[in-house]
Structure formats: C-alpha cells, structure tokens
A and B are shown apart, each in its own frame.
Chain A
C-alpha cells in the first residue's frame, strides 16, 4: 500500500542505515505488502514505529541531534515526491476502505505513543501527581481502569492513515514557513541547558535528565517550524463545550457536538492560515482531521496565524482520550481550558493539569463556558470562585495588564462572550510570541524540577578549617607529634650525656650493670615492610574530609565527591609509610652542635679542678704540700659546684635547640604528610567541587537569573582558593591542574 511506501521512505530519510535498501527493493517490498493486504505485515509494523519515533521527537531524546526538523523535512520532501507515483494506482481503493475502517482505529496509534510518553513522564515526575490523586476510596481505583483494547491490527491501519496525512498536507500547501526565532535570552538558556545536560550526564541518571532532554528536543523542533502560526489547543472536561467553542470560533460546524459523552475522540485541527502542515504533523493530527474556518466572513477575520486544535476530554472513562490530551498538551503553544459551571472545581482538572502547568499561565486561557445555564448573577459568582481556585493552584491571573492566564466567561451556544475571546486570541496570535513563551515556561518547569540535583542547601566547599583538620589527622596518623617529641627528648638526652659530669655517667653505668632489667632495651630497628602509618586514622581522616566536602551538596554530587575522596585514599597509607621512612628516619643521629666540645671541655676542667683540689688537699694531709686549706678547698668546691653548674647551664642551653630540633622534625613529617594528603585527596575533591560549581553556574544560567553568576560563585565557597599557606608556590599550579582536569572531564562528558 502506498502508505507503507511513505513510511519506509521516511525511515530511510531519517536513518539511512536502517532503511530497507535501495529504491528498487523498496518498491518491491511495497508491492509485496500491497499484495498481502498490509493488514499485519512486519514492514508496516516497524515502519509505523519508526515513523512515530521520527515524527514527533519523543523524550527518548536525541539530545545531540542538533537539527532533527531539518532531517524530517528532507524526508518529507522525498517522500512526497515518491508518493505521487506510487499513489495513483491504489489510491481509490484504499481510500474507500480506510475512511470507514480506520476512523475508529486511528486513535490507537496515538494511544500507544501517548502511553509511552506518559510512562516516561510518570517515572520522572508523576509521583507528586500520583500521590495527590491516590488518597480516597474511589480515586485510588483510578489506576485500575481497564486499558482500552490495544488491538494489534490497529498498528496496520496507522500506516494507512498516513496517506491522508499527506493529502491534508497537500491541500494545505507547503508554503515557505519562516522558522521560529527565540530571543537571545531564551536561546542562551537553551544552550545552557544543553550544556548542563552534557556536563551532568556522567553524574546523574538518565531519568533525571530525560525531562530536560525533552524540553530541548521540543524547543528545537518548534524552532524548526513556522513562527507565523500559533497552535492553540482547546482542552477541557467532557461535556464542557470544547467542540461547541471550537465551532463558534471557526464559524462553521467542524467538530461534532452532541450529547453522547464523550463526543470528540480524536483531536481536530483548524488552521486560519496556510503552511501549518508541519506543525500539525508534529501533533500527529491526520490530514482528514485538518480543517479550515469559514472564510470570507467577518468572524473568521483577524485570526491569521491561528491553528486551533480541538482536543478530546481529559476526564472520561475513555483512557485513550486522556493520552491524546497529555501528548498534545506538551506540543502546543497555548491552551484554552474550557470549564463549565458544573465541573469547574473538578479535582482532575486542577490537580492533574492546572497545578502542574501553573508556570504556563502566560500561554493559558481559562474560559468558563455555558454561562447560559446559570441564572442571573450566578455567572459572576462562579467566575470569581473560579478565579479563587486558579489562584489557589498558583496560576498567575492576567488581570490589570499583568502577564498571566486570561480568564473569561462566555457561552459558546449563544455566542455570548465569544467575540471577546476572539479579540483576545487575535492579539495573542498577532504577537507571535506564544511559542517562545511556551518553551520558556517549559524551561522554567524543567529547571525547577532539576533544582534538587543542582542547588546546594548551603555554602559549599572545603573550609580552611576542614583542610587543617585533615592535615592534623594525617599528621596524627604518621605520629608526627610523638616523633617530634621523641626527637626533642633524644636531643636533650644526648646533650645531657655529652655534657653530664663524669661521676654521673659513672653512676649510670653502674646502675645499668646492677639492674639491667629495669632498663628495657630500646626497640630493635623496625623491619622494612612495617606499616608505620595508622591505617584507621587515615581512613577516618579521608572519610571526615569527604563528608565535610560533600555536606550540603545535592546527592549525586555529594556521592561523586565522596568517591573522589575514597579513590584518593587508596594508596595514601602506603605513601605515608614511605614518607615516614624517608622524612623522619629515627635512626639518624641528631646533629652535634658546636658548643658541645666547649661544654665537655668545661666539664673536664671542672673535674680537673676537683682532682687538682683533691690532690692538693691530699698532698697537704700527707705533708707534701704546705698546709693551706683555703685554696684547695676552694678549688674543690669550685669543681664540685661547677660540674653540675656546667651541666645545668648546658641543659638550659640545650633546651632551645632541642625544642627547635623536635619541632623541626615534627614539622617535616607533618608537612610531608599534608602534602601527600593534599595531592591524593584534597585536590581530587577540589576538582570535583569545581566541576560541581561549573555545573551549578550552568544551572543558574538555565534558570535565567541574570547577574546571579558572581553571587553563586561566592556562595559556592572558596573551592579553589582555600589553600594551605605553606603551599603557596605550588598551589597555583595545582589549581591550574585541577582546572585542566575539570575541563578535560567536561569535554569527555559532553
């Protein structure tokens, strides 16, 4: 069948590798399927699916496909050319049958697709809605509604609908639509969002980003389409008079109205100006459902550029209607919500549609229909109540010239108030800004939804204090303080040993010999493979600093910061072991200062004095020397007092250098450990934080808060600047290095 050709062709235009081969083989396959009747052939099946995928970019998101509309257009053109030849033969027969056969089946295709779309949305965002609508005896059963029969042969007929799609397009004429242009701010925001999605793809799961991808796709798709047209959908509950209003605006009975509920099953479009075919293709409205308003009447004038879409209801038991509505509402530029006095407070309308779309107030109209059913001033009362409800929903109302939703009351049946709506619509369409505003509102919504994964709850970054604490913990882990103290004491001990009185040394030696047990032997030299670093302390230090760096970050980023810290900790204890061996080898003897020989000399002279005095005295006693007590006693006393005196003076003098020596030893170890920790842990963490900051700035750009950049820079904390004062020289280089790493990451992320 011809439709199959069109479909396959389209596929080939979009994805050459997947096409069914050259033109000849395609023709053959067409012929085959025509013979088979096309009722359930696989060709048709796959073709339809691909078509569905290609025609309206679904949220399965080809973010990187920069110009899907262009490809689409190309495909369409080639398809159009081919069709004319293939069509002629089969057209007559097919047309007759499909008119009758597919009218009812047509929605099924949209059904299937809409379902996919809805699933995607539900997984991302539908939780809140689902909960809001899951609280009552009756409402809870909303999910139990039996699915409408999704017949498989329905798929086959989709392809046939395609034929009429083309017809409609021809009838409309494919003018030369001017592509929609977005203003620079919006463009910048879209670019920022694209960048943001690229930057965060490695950190966030696809579900979180799917919504953003969808917004990008739709913005791109809409951008490729006409800006002379404004697509406005009429949505509302069943029986609210959507179709009646549609007809009233078109000035001709296009859409069936009736008492049967639900009346309208598939969306119907009405375009006031030519060239809207591509737009309607995007909405997947088949050609047979594309109409024109009654021309040459005063009523139809002034609405140039308007494309009105009459939607099915969103609240009837027919589930596929709701799926139509949900699908098309994401694609149109503006929406007219039609409510009636009976249903204007329905929970379905407010909770499922108006509240989530509160950000779209500028492209929304809320119309209270059927005022003819209300007596007297009741219409005003109801309108006020409706305004109150909308206000509760968080929808800005466009009163007093402020931007927001327009609320009107009218009666489509009597025509009361329709002119007013027409005038409002005329102005709205003439502005030609609806598409951009819609995209902007979508962008706002996507940004708001992404807020939890990008916005930090508080100041983010590693404080100077946290860095110092980390260094302290590492120093503790290598035992820097204890080692320094030990070095200081060893120095003093050596000084004491060197400058002590000989008698004291003698006594010590004697003591050692007498009680060898009391003096434990010093620990033997440690084996080379010893784990001198306290593993537990290193682990704890890394965990603490990771937690502190991650505090306040959104969960995915916090996770990546912690992971960066944990990765850095991998070889850290071993590195510190190494360092403890080299930087602070305890076996190395303390240096001998220059004044020690002097002290030894002094000590020796004191001992000499004692001996001289003693000998002198002894000589006097035995009569060798003349008795003169004064001088030898004085000499002896001088020696006896002077010896400890010199020792004491030495100890006092040694205190300062010993202290310096100990501090120096401690500092060396501490700094070495800190440098090691910085290189292995703090820098990766800072790089990760930088990366987050970059993403965060991008996010701020997406939200469109102009001039907020520096503020957030500040609020993100001193990620890169907080450096140890001691590392000033290498800090810059490291920072640059971190920058380099970040950009490298981001380019690969993109």
Chain B
C-alpha cells in the first residue's frame, strides 16, 4: 500500500515537471485521473456551449434584415456546429464517447454556458451576441490555445482563427443600428442593456469562489483566472461602446488607475451572483426551451441516422457479395 502511494506521488511529480517544462500532454500519455476528469468536464461543457449557442441565433436566420446579414449569420451558426464537433472530438481522445456526452446534454445533466439561456427578442440581440458574447468567448479561448492538453489546444487554435469574424459581424450590426434611426439606436441600446451583465458573468464565479481554478492553473489548462479575464473584457468593450455612442449599463463603471498593476483599467459594479447561480442551476429564462429544442432535433433526426446506417450496411453487403 505504502509502495503504491509512493509510486502515485512520484508519477504526479513527474507529470507536474513535464507541465512545468511546457511540454504538451497527448492522448495516450499517462496523466493523473483528476487532470483527465477536469479536461473531460471542461471540454465537454465547451462543446455543449457551442452547440446550444446555435439556438438563440438560429432563431433569427430566417428573419435577418438583408441577404448579406443572413449569409453571415448562417456562416457563423455553421461555424458553431463545427466548433462543437472539434471539441467533442478533443474530449473523445480522453476516453468519453460523443454519444455519452450527447446524452448528458439531452438529459439536462451536462452544463453549458449560461449565457445561452437568455432570449433574443430583437435583431439587435444578434448584434449584441456577436460583439459581447463572442467577444467574451474569444477572451477566454485565446489563452486556451496554449493549454497543456494537445488536442484541446489544437482545436482552440482552429476555433480562434475562425471566430474573429463572429465578433466583427456583431459589432458591425450594432454600429449600423446605432447610426440608424432613433428607434434603431434605442433597440441597440436595449440589447446592450440585456446582454452586458450576462456577458460579464460568462467568465464564471469570482476567483475567491472558483474551486477549480487552482488545479487548472497549476496544470496549465487555464492561464488566467476568471477575474483577470473579466477585467480584460471590460477594458476592451467599454471604449468600443463609446465609439458607437452606446452606454454600458453600469453606473459604477469608472476609470481606475490602480487596476491592472497600476496601468489602469475600468472598475465595474457589483455582479448579481444570485442571478448567476440561479441560471446555472437551471432557472434561467430559456433553460427548458434550449434543452427541449435539442431533444426535439435529436428525436426528429433519428430516422436520418437510421437511414444512413441502413445505407452503409446495404453498400457493405453488396460489396461483400461482389467479392
């Protein structure tokens, strides 16, 4: 028993040394069980977020105001499907099947980003999602390109490359509305009001309440803490909002020259953590709707999957008969 324990500690230390040397971990390498579990959870949630993220925007594809906007939105939503698949594929290298992950999503057991549990009542919400939600996602994802797990890092590089257009198309929508009629500008402002706080919450609980952060940073899965990324996001978005004449809905927002180690940054108001946890626990405005939509798509697509399998089998049988 003592020997086993010693071996376990030695292998943990060897693993940590490898991480500290900035070596990547690949699927067949030995890794601590907790590292594997953390990654499966994080990559799985990330994949589910991409897939569920298609729903609030998909809702507007047929109602996009112009053909140009419709093409962009279609391409963006298609990218999200692709990103979900890259990520499921990365998670599968850790030994969990996509079918199993899919079932956890459909049964409501798996988590995904709470941001997608908010509704998109107007076209401006599509602008706000691209600008703020994709903006926050990119902030989170860029450091993940250097994550210690090879397949995850490679998927993130591909995703970040493709995603830069997502934020620009969103900002362009907001800019166009903000320069439009009074009613259009108001619509843009209301969408910003709706999406600002949920976007700020996207970085997750405050560092003090984030139990997973310590190990993730030690294992170089995460390179920055939730609060560090949140600060970067606020600092980036505030001037962009000012540029198009929109107002960030936070009365406590002000420049604070002490932030970012004295380089200056924006101080922002208190985050409503009760709302955050309520939505995480399933009580957001659209939680049930999202899961029902996924279940419906899965169930109604079942004949397509069955037909594809039957076709594959038929061809295989014909091929064997010919041999």
Asked if A and B are interacting partners, one says no
A-contacting residues of B (Cβ < 8 Å)?
none
B-contacting residues of A (Cβ < 8 Å)?
none
